[in-house]
Chain A
Amino acid sequence: MNEGKIKKIFAEAFEITEEEVHDDIEYNSYQPWDSLKHLQLVSMLEEELGIELEMDDIIDMSSYKKVREITLKYLS
């Protein structure tokens, strides 16, 4: 259930459909994913899931797969 929420937030942040969200979307190669978008994504995850991400984890979120894994850690 939490994985679905994370995917929904990620899709909202990048204005794409949930079907378009996949593990190999990466910060370095996905053009819309820049530093400003990264901060928007982090803020949306925190607000919508009621968590506060550590800076090291925010920096470590280099792909959708990592975003999902790191965020789930805060929800477990």
Chain B
Amino acid sequence: MAGNNHRIPKFSIGIDMEMIERFEKLSPELHKRQLNRIFTPNELNFCFSKIDPAPCLCGRFCAKEAIIKAFSSIDNSLITFTDIEIIKKDEKGPTAHIIGKQFSPDFLEKIEIKVSISHTAQAAVSNALIIYWCDL
């Protein structure tokens, strides 16, 4: 992140794990409300384009939970699942972005999020690192 010469980093971590089977019965038609409370339209389009959406949904849920946990020690603002978007653009792995309108550009410019997601056949796990650049 550019322009951090006069800033010091504050680090926070979060982790979450969930069973994939809990996402296996979720359908965009029958569980629209529940899915829309957790995932953004981009995330839903991405996961439901897969033959088996459940691992994708589960991994993203874990990543969001991990970020929410890490975020709680950085800022007192309420952050919800749909304030966070997990995107996978290439083979480098997922990236996380805070898209909630309540967060100012000035605040978001000071935040870096690193997230990692892993799966077994049964479960997904994610950890998140948030770096908050505090002004000196």
Contact pick for B34, options A39, A55, A59, CB 8 Å: A39
Q: How many residues of A contact B (CB 8 A)?
A: 10
B42-71 with Cβ < 8 A to chain A: 61, 65
Q: Is the CB of B61 within 8 A of A43?
A: no
A3 interfacial by beta-carbon distance below 8 Å: no
- How many inter-chain residue pairs (CB < 8 Å) link A and B? 19
B positions within 8 Å CB-CB of A: 18, 22, 31, 33-34, 37-38, 61, 65, 78, 80-81
With A39-B37, A42-B37, A47-B33: A55-B80 Cβ-Cβ less than 8 Å: yes
Interface of chain B, helix or strand or loop or mixed? Answer: helix
A positions within 8 Å CB-CB of B: 35-36, 39-40, 42-43, 46-47, 55, 59
Q: Is the CB of B65 within 8 A of A35?
A: yes
15 contacts between A and B (CB under 8 A): A35-B65, A36-B18, A36-B22, A36-B61, A39-B34, A39-B37, A39-B81, A42-B37, A43-B31, A43-B33, A43-B37, A46-B33, A55-B78, A55-B80, A59-B78
Q: Name the B residues within 8 Å of A47 (CB-CB).
A: 33
